[in-house]
């Protein structure tokens, strides 16, 4: 069955303006965290990680980002050597997904066009998108 498979994608994500300065608390490890990106192929993907939401857009990066994967053999530490590298090349990219903090708001009206952002005059409490302010995303927004 062709519909029973998943496709992995590696994305270079830059998080700007992380509330509190830390997304993952120190000493919490890296295995107990869940991240989900909605609308990854859209113009404004949404990232949900550790109860925080971010909205972003793709930009060209300066230079090329390389993704390397750590190789482990037998669980023993290895001495660095040019003949036996401890990392291997996975992929490269010249794009990055720049994410800004976002606050999700309930949809206030139903229209035939999908909402892109909610302004303060529509909700009374949500912020509009700005370089200095967090973005807002309407709950139920079509991200495809």
- The whole-number average pLDDT for the span 133-139 is 52
Phi-psi region of 43 (alpha: psi -120 to 50; beta: other; left: phi over 0): alpha
> Is residue 2 assigned to a domain?
no
> What is the 3 state secondary structure string of 125-141?
CCCCCCCCCCEEEECCC
Residue 78 in any domain: the answer is yes
**How confident is the model over 35-48, as a mean pLDDT?**
90
Average the pLDDT over 54-76 and give the result: 85
Give the residue-averaged pLDDT of 17-29. 67
Number of structural domains (the chain) is 1
Question: What mean pLDDT do residues 84-94 have?
Answer: 85
pLDDT on residue 18:
76
Q: Say if 24 falls within a structural domain.
A: no
What was the pLDDT predicted at 91? Answer: 92
Beta bridge partners, 59, equal 96
Evaluate whether residue 28 is within a structural domain.
no
Q: Is the pLDDT of residue 44 over 50?
A: yes
Is residue 100 situated within a structural domain?
yes
Q: Domain limits at 40?
A: 13-19+34-138
Predicted pLDDT of residue 106: 80
> Averaged over 103-128, what is the pLDDT?
56
Domain annotation covers residue 4: no
User: Three-state DSSP class for 61?
Assistant: strand
25 lies in some domain? no
Report yes or no on 73 lying in a domain. Answer: yes
């Amino acid at each position: 069955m062709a519909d029973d498979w998943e496709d992995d994608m590696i994305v270079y994500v830059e998080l700007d303006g992380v509330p509190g300065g830390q997304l993952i608390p120190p000493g919490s490890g890296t295995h107990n965290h869940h991240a989900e990106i909605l609308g990854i192929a859209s113009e404004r993907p949404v990232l949900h990680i550790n109860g925080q939401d971010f909205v972003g857009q793709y930009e060209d990066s300066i230079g090329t980002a390389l993704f390397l994967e750590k190789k482990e053999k037998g669980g023993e530490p290895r001495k660095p050597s040019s003949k036996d590298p401890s990392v291997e090349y996975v992929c490269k990219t010249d794009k990055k997904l720049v994410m800004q903090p976002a606050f999700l708001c309930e949809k206030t009206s139903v229209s035939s066009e999908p909402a892109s952002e909610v302004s303060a005059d529509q909700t009374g409490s949500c912020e509009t998108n700005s370089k200095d302010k967090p973005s807002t995303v309407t709950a139920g927004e079509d991200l495809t």
